[in-house]
Amino acid sequence: MNKLIEAALAAREQAHAPFSHFKVGAALEDENGRIFSGCNVENATYGLTICAERVAVFKAISEGARKFVAIAVAADADELTPPCGACRQILWEFCGDVEVTLVNLRGKTETFGLKDIFPRPFDASFL
């Protein structure tokens, strides 16, 4: 198992998901090999909940990282769980067409480019 997947699985264990009980972990690797992890954090109002992928991106940005190569997303589901629409938008804006690896707790994985699941993204080039 690679270090990015291991970090995503470990981050998942820190998730705060008292309402959905659906824990997700993410690990984002920058161009220097540093890994920034995140987990989903739920809120009673639901709308203020934040996904693991966004936590990892914002943590990386807040620590000075700017160029990224890959992200792994871990969830406990038979079918691998891709990033939601909001996370895809944030990933595109901050990471570009990074490699995305999905993993579940049974070791199933799938890897693809972000553009494969987020064709025709909106970004600053349209402004």
Would you tell me how many other CB atoms lie within 10 Å of the CB of residue 89?
16
Tokens 């992890």 map to which residue?
37
Q: For the chain, how long is the longest CA-to-CA vector? A: 43
CA Rg value for the chain: 14
Whether 53 sits among the annotated catalytic residues: the reply is yes
Catalytic residue among 13, 53, 99, 110: 53
Sheet containing 35-39: give its strands across: 35-39, 24-30, 68-75, 99-103, 109-113
Which residues participate in catalysis according to the annotation? 53
